Amino acid sequence: MYELKSVHKRYGLSKVALRKIDLTVRDREFLVIYGPAGAGKSTILNILAGIARPTSGDVLRDGESIMHVPPEKRDAAMAFENYALYSHISVGENLAFPLHARGMNRADIDQRVKRISGILGIGHLLDRRPGFLSGGQRQRVALGRAIIRPADIYLLDEPVGHLDAKLRHKIRAELKALAEDLSATVVFTTTSSREALALGDRVAVLNSGRIEQIGTPADLYHRPANAFVASFVGDPPMSFISVEPRRGGDRVAFVTPDGMPVAALATDAVAGLRDEPGSTIQVGFRSNEVRLAEAGDPGTLRGRVDVIENLGYVKIALVGIGSDQVSVSFPTGKRLSVGETVAIAFPRDAVHLFQNARAIAHAAPSA
Ligand SMILES: Nc1ncnc2c1ncn2[C@@H]1O[C@H](COP(=O)(O)OP(=O)(O)OP(=O)(O)O)[C@@H](O)[C@H]1O
């Protein structure tokens, strides 16, 4: 188990890359660090590898500080997005290099090179020099070279970032299966929500050097801790409608500024709601948690279709409602055009509620 304890990292005098983060990497887990460019993802990997040193805080391996352990003694295998390969030797030799360095015998080396190159779809390139490969092929060789040897921890920095969508999808699945097969501990960084949800046993959402939330993909998707996670995890992102609470009896209704009720929840379910004048309260929902209304649906919200996105199996309409914009999914067979006015029906009892951007309730649909 690896732990970062209150790790703060500053580059130079003013650039803060990590802000006192606590992070645990459990044995044999596939941990994804998901965040926008510049969030500090690579810095975390570099600190785990020992290439970068925290400005303050501690790094532990099974409870003992490894701050003094140099990178070559840490047994971390790293793959970077832009990894330099040895240009004077073939792809096969590049892959075999880390195994030769460990004194593995020829037969075992050949077997591992065959397996890894097969998984990464580079088996036909083994005799080529790196200079004769495309960017995506080079990235796969670099990834192969990092994962080919047994290691205590694999640190993979956006390792499939340059690949086209189809290959990314394939390698992602293979990589996850391989990690499970080898019982490997993996820390993998990405800027893709889809990749984070697909790969992570747990996902840490990083934003401006802070961990916003760590949890399983289901936790992050269904129970985001705040509006940042809600709008950053899942595609399309969660939509929000600004509302005002109206307490009455054992329920609290949430209505838009022009009085339309969007949700009504039991008082117990919104115990975290504070009566704070001037605070921002938002109801959030995913595109599949709302629907285009049918005639007779009570209390719908009307808006104008701004954009329609066709995902192939479903379409998403972005509907402007006041100053908010709501994504609604609908079947591909349905006719709808940009500019049309539509009504949206809400689940009322199955919404996410945020006060000043912090989640205060995730109400499940009633049976
Ligand atoms: N050696 C350095 N000197 C100064 N600033 C740095 C250095 N390395 C990183 N930074 C800054 O620290 C912040 C975090 O960088 P880091 O590379 O860890 O982010 P990242 O999440 O991996 O980004 P990306 O997805 O773009 O690779 C960024 O603002 C970056 O510009």
Q: What is the pLDDT of residue 310?
A: 93
Which two structure tokens, joined as six digits, stand for 325?
């914009």
The sign one gets for the Cα dihedral 136, 138, 142, 147 is positive
What are the counts of helices (DSSP H) followed by strands (DSSP E) for the chain? Answer: 8, 21
Domain boundaries, the chain: 2-232, 239-361
- The CATH number of the structural domain formed by 239-361 is 2.40.50.140
Residue nearest to atom 16 of ligand 1 (CA): 40
List the chain residues with pLDDT less than 50.
367
Q: How far is the CA of 18 from the centre of ligand 1 (A)?
A: 10
Q: What is the pLDDT of residue 165?
A: 83
Provide the strand spans (E) within 147-275.
Answer: 153-157, 186-190, 202-207, 210-215, 239-248, 251-255, 261-266
DSSP string, 63-83: TEE-TTS-GGGS-EEEE-TTP
Three-class SS state of 18: strand
Q: Report the nearest atom of ligand 1 relative to the CA of 9.
A: 12
Q: Report the nearest atom of ligand 1 relative to the CA of 191.
A: 25
List ligand 1's pocket residues with C-beta within 6 A.
11-12, 15, 17, 35, 37-43, 191
Q: How far is the CA of 303 from the centre of ligand 1 (A)?
A: 41
Q: What is the pLDDT of residue 264?
A: 87
Q: How far is the CA of 180 from the centre of ligand 1 (A)?
A: 30
Residue located via tokens 């092929």: 137
Q: What is the pLDDT of residue 346?
A: 83
Residue located via tokens 């995730």: 362
Which two structure tokens, joined as six digits, stand for 322?
């006041």
Q: How far is the CA of 38 from the centre of ligand 1 (A)?
A: 5
Q: Report the nearest atom of ligand 1 relative to the CA of 81.
A: 27
Residue nearest to atom 1 of ligand 1 (CA): 11
State which of 42, 82, 188, 191 you would mutate to test the pocket of ligand 1, scoring each by most atoms of that ligand within 8 A of its C-beta.
42
State which of 43, 51, 162, 190 you would mutate to test the pocket of ligand 1, scoring each by most atoms of that ligand within 8 A of its C-beta.
43
| CATH match for 2-232 among 3.40.190.10, 1.10.3720.10, 2.40.50.100, 3.40.50.300 | 3.40.50.300
Q: How far is the CA of 49 from the centre of ligand 1 (A)?
A: 16
Q: Report the nearest atom of ligand 1 relative to the CA of 39.
A: 21
Q: How far is the CA of 128 from the centre of ligand 1 (A)?
A: 33
Q: What is the pLDDT of residue 334?
A: 92
Q: What is the pLDDT of residue 76?
A: 92
Residue nearest to atom 6 of ligand 1 (CA): 11
